[in-house]
Structure 1
Amino acid sequence: MGVQRSDPPMPDATEIARDAIARHGTAPVQLLAVLHEIQRRYHGIPRAAMEVVARAFGRSVAEVEGVIGFYSFLHERPHGEYAISFSDCPVDRFLGQDELIERLCRQLGVAPGQVRDDGRVSVETTSCTGLCDQGPALLVNGRAIPALDPGRIDTIAGLIEQRRPLEQWPGAWFRVEHGIRHPGPLLEAPEQPGKALELALELGPAGVLERIERSGLRGRGGAGYPTALKWRYCREAPGEHHVVCNADEGEPGTFKDRELLRLRTGDLVEGMTLAAFVTGAREGFLYLRAEYGFLAAELEQHIAERRSAGLLGHTILGREGFDFDLHLVTGAGAYVCGEESALLNSIEGRRGTPRNRPPYPVTAGLWGRPTVVNNVESYIAACRIVLQGAEWFTRHGTERSRGTKLLSISGDCARPGIYELPFGTPVGEVLELCDAGEPVGVQVGGPSGTFIAPPEFARRIAYEDLSTGGAFMVFGPDRDPVAIAAQFSHFFAHESCGFCTPCRVGTALQQRLMERICGGRGTVADLQELEQLAGLMRQASHCGLGHTAANPVSDTLARYPEYYQARLQGAALQPQPGRPPADSRKEVARDA
């Protein structure tokens, strides 16, 4: 539809590539930054630019092309001058996002997933923008606009047609609220720049490690590996060491790191510096998810300010030999890069394919060197433990799950946002805090976690019960668990890296079967095939993505078999939130 461009011709792609390389350098860790800049200026990464990049980085063109093809935020084919991404997360879709996408596309004359004929605009979806508490939301050229409504969509369409630069759009649109509803000891404690490092110098590396160990701190990403043990193994491994922060919270429904990165930046960087002090690392990397690229400038500024204050760089706090510097790496959109070895490959400028384990990163991480990888919340907790002592931390939580947990609560509740609660808090209490009414179910831990029904709301948020990296999605009594599981099956099929056959083929088959069931064309044999697929993916997949890809389907099939049975019969079913999970073997007639 659109009109032909009347603006000056686009600069030559090879010139843009050479300029980006001159700006960022040719260290492997800079490859993503170079590709991001080329795309930002050219709206895509054509083959001519790939050839320049390949020569500069000592790679083949096929390798560079493979990296670009792996990440959903990098494109060979040019995207729009205004590149718009909506979240495909069920929570955002339930807020009316599909209607907003259709409205925007209709006004701009562009089809979803396409670029308009004149190259002005493209509209697509991404798995989750990390704004579920403030949705519906979109990203335009990487900048977040939350709280969308039809009126704002109409205005956005007008500004794009007028070709108004984003700097001239209303500034209030880009304001992302902090969303903290229920702060706890981690969020309430005031930051004290440098104080934890001063204490560390008094305690020594062994003393810091002992304090972390006594606290019982476990990784906050969901797996719960003891933090002190990870640091100790890395410390004892020979060779040059590294410290990495996993700020790639790509699990749909998770957004706590978005605020920790803004409000607790000092504690985060200090926690990483403490890990470096214990392990002897001199270099660290903060890996930021692409959807949070709008936070990059503030993070870079904070890192620079800490260098100036003597809290990063050479001779930290005047201590000879205490050298540690930190670099920011922005990802390019790949859920699988939340897995630590995939993230390390991405930092190295490679496709984010998970590695075989063992060896583990603590002995063979970045460039084969011992590497500590923890997430944002874990480093912040480590900083507070050194400052306030192990006993301060152990006052909260359970025997096996010490401290508090930050939950990203979204969906059908009156008070979505970020809640810091003691480990051991029952799900029912969480639902009361966020005013959720009587939901049909809750997805704890995102799609890779556990979907629970009302009879299970007495279960607790804890490593020994319901472990979660932070996602807590509430689904009201009018929601259909089968449709939700189908959406998550689409997510896993899209995010599979394709490395191993069980996951690549299994997630695609799972998606196809769920689409057939949701369309009223499913059979009992399809349900049996879904269960067989789930077992295959769990047993044979290369990494955690494949191991957990069937969780939403398996959980809902076990807890809501009557919903599946109604789909097979082609009948609509009214939710019954108080009904206990039925015997799945009986309900789906598997013994017939």
Structure 2
Amino acid sequence: MDLHFLNFGPTEAERSAVDGLPPGRDQLLPALHAVNDRIGWISQGALNHICQKLEIPPADAYGVASFYSLFSLTERPPRIVRVCTDLACQVNGAEQVYNALDGVAIERSPCLGVCERAPAALAFEAGDPPVERLIAPATAEKITEMSEVDEPPKIRQREGLRLLRRIGVVDPESLDDYRATGGYTALRTALLLGPAGVIREVTDSGLMGRGGAAFPTGRKWDATARQPVSPHYLVCNADESEPGTFKDRVLIEGDPFALIESMTIAAFATGASKGYIYLRGEYPRAFRLLRGAIEKAREFGYLGTDIMGHTGFRFDIEIRRGAGAYICGEETAIFNSIEGYRGEPRTKPPFPVEKGLFGKPTVVNNVETLVNVPLILTEGCEAYRRIGTERSTGTKLFCLSGNVREPGVYEVPFGVTLGELLDLAGGVPGELKAVLLGGAAGGFVRPDELDLRLTMEDAREAGTTLGSGVVLALDDQADVGAFLLRIAAFFRDESCGQCVPCRIGTVRQEEALHRIVGGRRLGDDLTVLRDVGQVMRDSSICGLGQTAWNAIESAIDRLGLLKEKP
């Protein structure tokens, strides 16, 4: 391979950070993390060394390294603090925290996924080993001290919890605790049913994807299992970067073995021998707990070869850390990221079940979807279907934040109303102005619409979406204009730039919104917003561009905001 390098060499620390990694382009993201963790930034010499070791053209490696916000290709201090100024933190004092910090390198950050304890900050100090703390609720003093309370997330235990029943009750690092509360019973059942039997149970349960698309899980598994090409892969999408979403983090931090068992069942059903957990790079505690749980599962025969004595059943899991790119929550962008390319979405078809990771049949499910599977197998698909509604079966996790008295993750059966869900969280202290449902890619709901039943079909009929489960309440003190500007800035920043409608449209959308909110609107700015939004929706490659206009459109049409004043 003809590789051309600039005349820069690595330091000894940079060299040692990556020399232990196996060869292959798919090791590019781990190699970049290794240098960034050790040094705090990625120099030209370090990039050259990575390219030589992995046999990657330097221009390609530069394109990947510059794609992710957690990496820097210019020198910076070994210690850096990222203060979340996104939706939930914005209405809970993030600006005051940011302005109070002095003497440290700071950056504004999109959502850090701890909205229930907003405001939040991620403090990182490079070294061997690096120190990383996700601090929430954050204060300038806590950030300076890099203090972290390392304990499981707290869930208000009540009758009817299923996915959350172990959170805060068992030790998430104890395999014995997990088994004592029913862990690995479902995998044993799966091995007795066989792959086809497992897929049949999941299909008959009516389980739909919980990441927003609501695709039937059983159909996806069946389509993958039927592919004659091998090997098959399984990818768990744990890169929840939608502002206001934190349910998958809570599941991982509070019950990591449940995810491992669920992935093992999915792999058995679909014929996958290798699985990847694509985890948000901003989740240090989740990374540590998952890594420990995987090691224990291997040690006790729940991962590896002949799992649970089932001859010929091989499956193992690798964690792949993201590095700050919302677009990598899109299923095909995950494939590119794992393979060592820029995390840009691929055109479909072909679909992942036919040609996914490394060009092979691949199942992609998010954390919440997967951890439903053990319940289906242990209680049976008919019992599972009796919870929820006919078309939206089971329970759903919702992430409540913003101006509610008790923010957090709440598990309810599909079919409860939005008002009932808000009441579970203690309601809104002041007068409710609006609820953002589904996240930045979702839409607003008015205070007179709280009788909306939370099901996939009711949300769709009402012209909104449940999305990733975000329920962000805004009271009468909230600055909705600033809130919309933050949404527009988020999509502008997170667009990968691959397709013109999204790359240009998100910029034009923010520009027009700035003029309108600032009172300097041009006569046709609302028309511009609508036209740009419709073009993005109709012609963007992936869901980011297709949904970037949703919340702003609903603010105009549903809340009556941004219109010309009489």
- Residue in structure 2 matched with residue 123 of structure 1 by the alignment: 106
Q: 1:392: Cα distance to partner?
A: 2.6
Q: 1:520: Cα distance to partner?
A: 1.3
SS at match of 1:186: coil
Q: 1:464: Cα distance to partner?
A: 0.9
CA deviation profile, 1:414-461 (whole Å, cap 9, x unmatched): 010010011112111112221233411111110111211122222122
CA deviation profile, 1:445-496 (whole Å, cap 9, x unmatched): 1011121112222212211133321211111122233332121001000100
Query: Do 1:144 and 1:176's aligned partners in 2 also have CA atoms closer than 8 Å?
Result: no
Query: Do 2:253 and 2:285's aligned partners in 1 also have CA atoms closer than 8 Å?
Result: no
Mapped to 1, the partners of 2:92 and 2:63 lie a distance apart of 36
Q: 1:562: Cα distance to partner?
A: 4.9
Q: 1:27: Cα distance to partner?
A: 3.1
- Residue in structure 2 matched with residue 256 of structure 1 by the alignment: 247
Q: 272, 290, 295: which is aligned to 2:286?
A: 295
Please state if 1:451 is matched with 2:444: yes
CA deviation profile, 1:280-326 (whole Å, cap 9, x unmatched): 11111011011113321221110010111111001101111100011
Mapped to 2, the partners of 1:76 and 1:252 lie a distance apart of 26
- Residue in structure 1 matched with residue 53 of structure 2 by the alignment: 56
Look up the equivalent residue of 1:52 and give its one-letter code: H
- Residue in structure 2 matched with residue 8 of structure 1 by the alignment: none
Mapped to 2, the partners of 1:321 and 1:303 lie a distance apart of 20
Q: 1:205: Cα distance to partner?
A: 1.0
- Residue in structure 1 matched with residue 366 of structure 2 by the alignment: 375
Mapped to 1, the partners of 2:87 and 2:457 lie a distance apart of 27
- Residue in structure 1 matched with residue 163 of structure 2 by the alignment: 186
Q: 1:155: Cα distance to partner?
A: 6.0
Please state if 1:286 is matched with 2:269: no
Q: 1:177: Cα distance to partner?
A: 3.7
Please state if 1:27 is matched with 2:17: no
Relative to structure 2, which stretch is displaced further, 458-467 or 398-407?
A: 458-467
Query: Do 1:493 and 1:511's aligned partners in 2 also have CA atoms closer than 8 Å?
Result: yes
Q: 391, 394, 399: which is aligned to 2:385?
A: 394
- Residue in structure 2 matched with residue 114 of structure 1 by the alignment: none
Mapped to 2, the partners of 1:368 and 1:131 lie a distance apart of 35
- Residue in structure 2 matched with residue 384 of structure 1 by the alignment: 375
Query: Do 2:17 and 2:38's aligned partners in 1 also have CA atoms closer than 8 Å?
Result: no
Please state if 1:207 is matched with 2:184: no
Give the alignment's TM-score, normalised by structure 2.
Answer: 0.90
Please state if 1:75 is matched with 2:72: yes
The higher radius of gyration belongs to 1
- Residue in structure 1 matched with residue 484 of structure 2 by the alignment: 485
Query: Do 2:86 and 2:243's aligned partners in 1 also have CA atoms closer than 8 Å?
Result: yes
Residues 1:524 and 1:392: Cα distance change in structure 2 (over 3 Å): farther
Query: Do 1:395 and 1:403's aligned partners in 2 also have CA atoms closer than 8 Å?
Result: yes
- Residue in structure 1 matched with residue 215 of structure 2 by the alignment: 225
Mapped to 2, the partners of 1:14 and 1:404 lie a distance apart of 52
Query: Do 2:435 and 2:446's aligned partners in 1 also have CA atoms closer than 8 Å?
Result: yes
SS at match of 1:511: helix
Matches within 5 A, 1:432-443: 432-437=423-428, 438-443=431-436
> Sequence identity of aligned pairs in percent?
39
- Residue in structure 1 matched with residue 521 of structure 2 by the alignment: 522
Mapped to 1, the partners of 2:27 and 2:410 lie a distance apart of 36
Residues 1:372 and 1:297: Cα distance change in structure 2 (over 3 Å): same
CA deviation profile, 1:358-411 (whole Å, cap 9, x unmatched): 111111011100000000011100122112211231121111100000011000
Mapped to 1, the partners of 2:409 and 2:560 lie a distance apart of 32
- Residue in structure 1 matched with residue 87 of structure 2 by the alignment: 90
Mapped to 1, the partners of 2:83 and 2:268 lie a distance apart of 41
Mapped to 1, the partners of 2:285 and 2:64 lie a distance apart of 22
Q: 1:65: Cα distance to partner?
A: 0.6
Mapped to 2, the partners of 1:422 and 1:498 lie a distance apart of 39
SS at match of 2:108: strand
- Residue in structure 2 matched with residue 197 of structure 1 by the alignment: 187
Look up the equivalent residue of 1:137 and give its one-letter code: A
Q: 1:49: Cα distance to partner?
A: 0.9
Q: 1:329: Cα distance to partner?
A: 0.6
Q: 1:274: Cα distance to partner?
A: 0.9
Mapped to 2, the partners of 1:244 and 1:500 lie a distance apart of 25
Query: Do 2:488 and 2:510's aligned partners in 1 also have CA atoms closer than 8 Å?
Result: yes
Unmatched 5+ stretches in structure 2? 1-8, 125-131, 167-177, 460-465
- Residue in structure 2 matched with residue 542 of structure 1 by the alignment: 541
Residues 1:216 and 1:562: Cα distance change in structure 2 (over 3 Å): closer
- Residue in structure 2 matched with residue 322 of structure 1 by the alignment: 313
Mapped to 2, the partners of 1:427 and 1:523 lie a distance apart of 37
SS at match of 1:185: coil
Query: Do 1:42 and 1:78's aligned partners in 2 also have CA atoms closer than 8 Å?
Result: no
Mapped to 1, the partners of 2:330 and 2:278 lie a distance apart of 12
Query: Do 1:90 and 1:487's aligned partners in 2 also have CA atoms closer than 8 Å?
Result: yes
Runs of 4+ in 1 over 6 A off after TM superposition: none
Query: Do 1:293 and 1:330's aligned partners in 2 also have CA atoms closer than 8 Å?
Result: no
Look up the equivalent residue of 2:304 and give its one-letter code: G
SS at match of 1:402: coil
Look up the equivalent residue of 2:154 and give its one-letter code: H
Query: Do 1:408 and 1:472's aligned partners in 2 also have CA atoms closer than 8 Å?
Result: yes
Mapped to 1, the partners of 2:65 and 2:561 lie a distance apart of 44
Please state if 1:305 is matched with 2:288: no
Q: 1:171: Cα distance to partner?
A: 5.0
Q: 1:16: Cα distance to partner?
A: 3.1
Alignment root-mean-square deviation, CA: 1.8
Query: Do 1:26 and 1:56's aligned partners in 2 also have CA atoms closer than 8 Å?
Result: yes
CA deviation profile, 1:240-274 (whole Å, cap 9, x unmatched): 10111000010000001111002221221111111
Residues 1:480 and 1:103: Cα distance change in structure 2 (over 3 Å): closer
Mapped to 2, the partners of 1:33 and 1:131 lie a distance apart of 25
Look up the equivalent residue of 2:99 and give its one-letter code: E
Query: Do 2:157 and 2:165's aligned partners in 1 also have CA atoms closer than 8 Å?
Result: no
- Residue in structure 1 matched with residue 551 of structure 2 by the alignment: 552
Q: 1:181: Cα distance to partner?
A: 6.5
- Residue in structure 2 matched with residue 144 of structure 1 by the alignment: 134
Look up the equivalent residue of 1:187 and give its one-letter code: L
Give the alignment's TM-score, normalised by structure 1.
Answer: 0.86
SS at match of 2:164: helix
Query: Do 1:481 and 1:563's aligned partners in 2 also have CA atoms closer than 8 Å?
Result: no
Please state if 1:427 is matched with 2:403: no
